[in-house]
Each structure stands twice: as C-alpha cells, then as structure tokens.
Structure 1
C-alpha cells in the first residue's frame, strides 16, 4: 500500500491486531508494514516512531471503555462499571499492561476516561485531592489485578516462539509451583483441595470482591 493511500487509522487498527497477537516485543515497523502491504518507511511517515505509535494505539483502546453517568446510576454503580470496563480492556490487550512499565500514556481518549473517573468520585462526595486519590487507588488496583493475565500471555507467546508446546510448558511451570507450595500448610491445602471462590478457581470473583471492598473503604472515608 503506497504512502499516499495508507492512513494513520489503518496503521493504528492493524498495530492493535499485531500487538494482541504478538505482544509488545512483536511490534516492529517491518512486520506492521507487511501486514499493511506497505513499506516500513511509509508507516514511519505517518506515525514518526515506534514509541509514538505505541502512544497512539494505547490511547485508541481507551475508547473501548464505556463511560457511565453517575447522576443516572449512582456513584458506586458508576465506579464499579468504570473499573470493570477498564479491567476488561486490559485483559483484551495485555500488552498495554506491559507498556505501562516503559511508557507514559496520554491522549484524548485516556483524558476522557480520567475526566469521567473524577466525575464519578466527585458525585460520591469526594472533593479536590480526595477525588484524585480515590480514582488513582482504584485504577492502581485494576492495573495490579491484570498483571497475571499479562504475564500468562507473555509467557505463552515466548514458549510458542521457542518452538515448544506452550500448553505443556505452562502446565509444567504450574506443577513446579505446586510442588513448592506443598511445603507450606496453607498453600498445600489449596493446591490439594481447590475450593469454590479460591483465586485459582475464580479470579473474576476475587477481582469483584477486592473492588467492592476497596469501594467500601472509600465510602467510609466520606464526610458524614
């Protein structure tokens, strides 16, 4: 695809597809250009650099998060919806979690999300710096909650690139971790007798429990 017919929109959408499949390490202008049927130089002409492209795709995926109206549904429901949407977006694009360690993200879509987040906590009664802290601590909780998803995706890709059986290698890793866990009584009981509600059997339930516990704590800090 020649430079004058290639668009930034096409580049960003294709880059997201590549990142979802190959992860952050798999993104380079040559492979992206190949997917687009274009030369790498044409891609550079539109996005300037790989770092700038990562900022563009990072901002684009923020558009996937629905922005609730706290006046319509209440601040707790809005906060839950916003955090759950963020968690789902990170889970769909685990490369973004990895990129947070090396990039400072900004853009219109992320700013729109941040604006909504502050509006949600202000609707709940938080003001000034307290609203910033409430929004920030929930964001940090969500980001930490998807680290396991991002690590599993990265490990699976790496094992696949090495030419081995990713599923078998991953299971071998879990088995080794379980052998170590059996040396400790509390961990051994969970390895040998998994129970409904354990993180290993229901990570989504653990996320929901943690989010509501966090919002409970924030709510108790409201004046009155």
Structure 2
C-alpha cells in the first residue's frame, strides 16, 4: 500500500536521512569526537561492549547528552562505519594506474580495513542506509568512475562495483569473524593450526585430495595462506570483468 497525504510513510531510520541537529553555541562535545571515541571503544572491546552509557563515561559526559548528536546506538554505528570506510585507499585517477591494478589495490585496502576493525564483521550488511555516508559515497563514486573509464557502460559499472565489493566484504568479514574467535580463545592462528592438523589429517584418511591439502598447510604461514586465497578469488572476479570489457564495442 502506497503512502498518501493522510497516511505518510515514516522516514527511513538512518542518521543520513534526517536533518543534522543544530549545534550549541559552546558545545561540550562534537559528533566527530563522539565517533572517534566510539571507534576506539569498538576496536578495543568489540561491538558487544558498545553502549551509550559506556561511551558517555569515556567522554566524561552523561549518556543523555550524546542524544544531542545521535538519535540512538544504530545511528552511532552508522557514523563509525562510515569513518572506517574513510580509511580505504582510493585510487587517484590522475596517477594513470591501469583499471585492473587500481581496482585490486582498492580491494586489498578495503580488506585490510575490515581486518583492522574486526567488529565490522557483525554489522556490515545489516545497517540502514550506509551507502549515503560521505566516505562510502566517495568510494563508490571513485570506483564507478574507474570502471566507466575502463569501458563499461554506466549501468554495468554499478554492477561491477557491487561484484567487487561483495567479494571483498564476504571474504574479509569471514576472516574477521574467525580472527575475533581466535582472539577470544587467546590463541594464534599458528597454534590453532598446529593443534587441528593431526585431527584433520586423520579424519581425511579416506579422502586423498583433502589429506594432501591438509598436509600442505603444515609448512605454510596461515596469514599468507589467507592473503593468497583472497587475491586468487579477487583476480578471478577481475578476470570476468576484463572478459566483459573485451566484449564491448
């Protein structure tokens, strides 16, 4: 049912879809300060530790005073996520880097940012209108321009950005969740792998290909293995886009 004048639809709940509240003449806080401290709290204690009360304590302010700047916790997380997106290195068109190398560099930077802020694994894809954040829009605009300059039509450039972004988020979020689990257990990847491999190899005794794969992991650095797997998948995504570019008139 469509909204009418008597029954208008409620606004989309997002920090980006409502007017920013006016500033006090001499504000004790700022939105930027709140976001900075919230990011620090999330990085050190994780998403479950974030509350307006705890954030207010860190800022030496009452939780109610924070609502002058953000309406609720969801809005705060939207702001912090956009702040994180601002750390992604975006290719400079003036640098003349080939489209494929520029896209790969941006994708690797995106992955690194997610792994540097592993709490994002629990919120990316679940938030409101995150695509309206200024840093996300700057990233999207740059990647659209990159794929259009490579030769894709505007509509396909949007699909290409989504394909690369979905691959990065899907892979990096899984990695971040895994690393968070290891940190909670107080174990390194090397320790976990050393304790698991004997059991895995025994379980795979009737599966020669799996057994060979597990055996090959014994002398590998698990972090390097994750990076190799990420780059392999990324290059195959870019292969597909390169093939599509070759089909353009």
Match in the other structure for 1:183: 203
**In the aligned structure 2, how far is the partner of 1:73 from the partner of 1:173?**
38
Q: 2:121 aligns with which of 79, 97, 105?
A: 97
The offset of 1:48, in angstroms, is 1.7
The offset of 1:205, in angstroms, is 1.9
Q: Tell me the secondary structure at the aligned position of residue 181 of structure 2.
A: helix
**In the aligned structure 1, how far is the partner of 2:223 from the partner of 2:210?**
12
1:111 aligns with 2:137: yes
Q: 1:73 aligns with which of 97, 119, 129?
A: 97
**In the aligned structure 2, how far is the partner of 1:197 from the partner of 1:62?**
31
Q: Which runs of 5+ in 2 are unaligned?
A: 1-25
Q: Tell me the secondary structure at the aligned position of residue 126 of structure 1.
A: coil
Match in the other structure for 1:151: 177
CA RMSD of aligned residues (A): 2.8
Q: 1:28 aligns with which of 40, 51, 69?
A: 51
Larger radius of gyration: 2
Aligned pairs, how many? 216
Where has structure 1 moved over 3 Å in runs of 4 or more? Answer: 156-159, 170-178, 195-201
- Summarize the Cα distance change of 1:23–1:193 in structure 2 as closer, same or farther, 3 Å threshold: same
Comparing 145-154 with 24-33, which one deviates more in the overlay? Answer: 145-154
- TM-score, normalization by structure 1: 0.84
- TM-score, normalization by structure 2: 0.76
The offset of 1:74, in angstroms, is 2.0
The offset of 1:158, in angstroms, is 4.6
Structure number having the greater helix percentage:
1
